[in-house]
Amino acid sequence: MTEARYPWLNGPDGVKQRIVEYCAAFPDLSITVEGMIAEGDTVITTWTLRGIHRGEFLGIAPSGNNVEVTGTTLHRVEGGVIVAARVNWDTLTLMRQIGALP
């Protein structure tokens, strides 16, 4: 896994900033863990994100629309610390639900 592809996620500060941005756009944001598998140094989590688009998101004005999208996160853990993450989620559905795409 390479963190260099996503510089905005590098390190705890990058992750915190991204979370702040999502919470501003979706103040009632909730993430439900649907399943989790751990083997060796790898943890895979499937999840569902839900919220109402009430703040600007990626330059898109609030739509007031409900959103529900699913995703999967793969973490690599060393010494009890997450050292790498790869997230795959349904961005297309999110953009459609907030009215950014038809």
pLDDT band at 16 (very low <50, low <70, confident <90, very high): confident
pTM over 0.85: no
pLDDT band at 6 (very low <50, low <70, confident <90, very high): low
Report how far residue 24's alpha carbon sits from residue 6's, in angstroms, rounded to the nearest whole number: 21
Contact yes or no for 98/66 (Cβ under 8 A): no
Residue 67 lies in a domain: yes
Does the residue 45 lie in any domain? yes
Query: 20 by DSSP, 3-state: which?
Result: helix
Domain that holds residue 66: 3-97
In a domain, 102, yes or no: no
Instruction: Tell me how many domains the chain contains.
Output: 1
Report, as an integer, the average pLDDT of 58-64.
Answer: 95
CATH number at residue 25: 3.10.450.50
Closest CA to 61 of 100, 17, 102, 19: 100
Q: Which residues pair with 67 in a beta bridge?
A: 51
